[in-house]
Amino acid sequence: MSAPVRPPRGRGIGRLSAVEVVPSTRQANRDRTVNAPARRVRRRGGSPVGRRSPTFLFLLALVVVLNLIGLVFVLSASAVTALYEYGSSWYHFRRQLLWVGLGAVAMVVVMRIDYHRWRARTNLLLIGAGAMMVAVLVPGLGVNVNGSSRWLGYGFARVQPSEFAKLAVLLFVADLLARRADKVGNWRATLLPVLVVLGTFALLLMAQPNLGTTIILGSIVFFMLFVSGVAAKPLIGTFAIGGVLATMAATLERYRRRRLLGFIDPWKDVSNTGYQTIQAQVAISHGGVVGSGLGQSRAKYGFLPFAHTDFIYAIIADETGMIGALLVVALFIALGVAGIRTAMRAPDRYGMLLATGVTGWLLIQAFVNIGAVVGVLPITGVPLPFVSFGGSSLVVTMAAMGLLLNVARQAR
């Protein structure tokens, strides 16, 4: 009797040759055990059904809780000013509820699409985001608010292209670093093309101008490069050059220089550059340990500008005290831990880099927002993820969370 024909080497697990003969029941059972992960039942959308991991469920629960906190405090923080400006205390809450609904749809749709499918569309998404960034700068197309052209659209239907740019650049960097894993030590093959794309989008962002989002985008890319194993010397050099350029951008323009000096010593210009920082700290100190009570903040009565957007964390600290403020920080730390766990257990390098990028994005943005509110970082106008009032920012962040959930869904 001739020996069984074995499949040629190099074939993926779970793919049986047409001429393969299984010699025994024991061998067949062993093959089924080895190949079980690869033979998961797949839905029509392409993502594995499998058994949802505890990390997947934990991440999903964190997103739900953070969005609920956002809805409650957007209503609380905006009720007074909304009644004065629009005649209804529910104005901003209704809009936020709509954006949460759209964001939930975006998250579920992205979560159900196998994350590998985005690789074929990366360049198209990158070009689309770049075109939107250019359109913002065209007079008549871009919407100018407070001296910055950052939006496209009209009235309620406005989007912020910089949010889509963050997601598109993240997908591009993850794809490139995954494809060139064998060249990670060659900075010309990995670091250089990433810097070209990052530099292009940074210039477009600074033309708006939008220094805060530029810093966030640069930090996300640097984090992904670091985790991917890019050579340390060129990476450190790039970081140093980026820091110099950011410092120059923050000091050359007069209004940014005044804002930076206002952060260093807010009491030097109480009625102007230091006003928001001081009012935020007053609100935080008013909350104490247990808070003044839900809806009882005094800062939202016109004392603290942008209370429901950039400074919503101050209202949370005012009304729920140190306990509530630390709880929000703990939720973001838990999200970071779960995101890192997802990256470590990702099925492949591309999934690891996607999970790393999304996790870094959420943590860095939360750190920058909370740091500005408590007065340890300059004010940059960056919203608190899932919590601050916002349209395109919330929807795109939820879509990015869908990517992270899809990777967690397929984790080993």
Does residue 403 carry a pLDDT above 60? Answer: yes
Distance CA 242, CA 323 (A): 37
| Cα 42 → chain centroid | 28
* Residue recorded with tokens 């005649």: 87
Does residue 221 carry a pLDDT above 80? Answer: yes
Average pLDDT over residues 67-79: 95
Cβ-based neighbours of 363, under 8 Å, separated by 6 or more: 332, 335, 336, 339
Distance CA 162, CA 176 (A): 21
On whether residue 19 sits in a domain, the answer given is no
> For residue 146, what pLDDT is reported?
67
On whether residue 7 sits in a domain, the answer given is no
Distance CA 210, CA 206 (A): 5
Residue 203 · residue 136 · CB < 8 Å: no
Structural domain of 334: 61-409
On whether residue 15 sits in a domain, the answer given is no
What does the pLDDT look like over 281-325, one tens digit per residue? Answer: 999 999 999 999 999 999 989 899 889 999 999 999 999 999 999
Does residue 149 carry a pLDDT above 90? Answer: no
- In our burial notation (b when 16+ CB lie closer than 10 A, e otherwise), range 365-399 reads bbbbbbbbbbbeebbbbbbbbbbbbbbbbbbbbbb
State residue 369 phi and psi, 5-degree precision. -65, -50
On whether residue 39 sits in a domain, the answer given is no
* Alpha carbons within 13 A on the beta-carbon side of 201: 30
On whether residue 357 sits in a domain, the answer given is yes
Average pLDDT over residues 30-53: 44
Residue 362 · residue 336 · CB < 8 Å: yes
On whether residue 322 sits in a domain, the answer given is yes
Distance CA 186, CA 230 (A): 8
| Cα 358 → chain centroid | 5
On whether residue 187 sits in a domain, the answer given is yes
What does the pLDDT look like over 90-112, one tens digit per residue? Answer: 999 999 999 999 999 999 999 99
Does residue 48 carry a pLDDT above 60? Answer: no
> For residue 151, what pLDDT is reported?
78
Count structural domains, the chain: 1
**Confidence category of residue 30, pLDDT binned at 50, 70, 90:** very low
What does the pLDDT look like over 78-90, one tens digit per residue? Answer: 999 999 989 999 9
Average pLDDT over residues 382-408: 94
> For residue 390, what pLDDT is reported?
83
Average pLDDT over residues 9-34: 38
On whether residue 89 sits in a domain, the answer given is yes
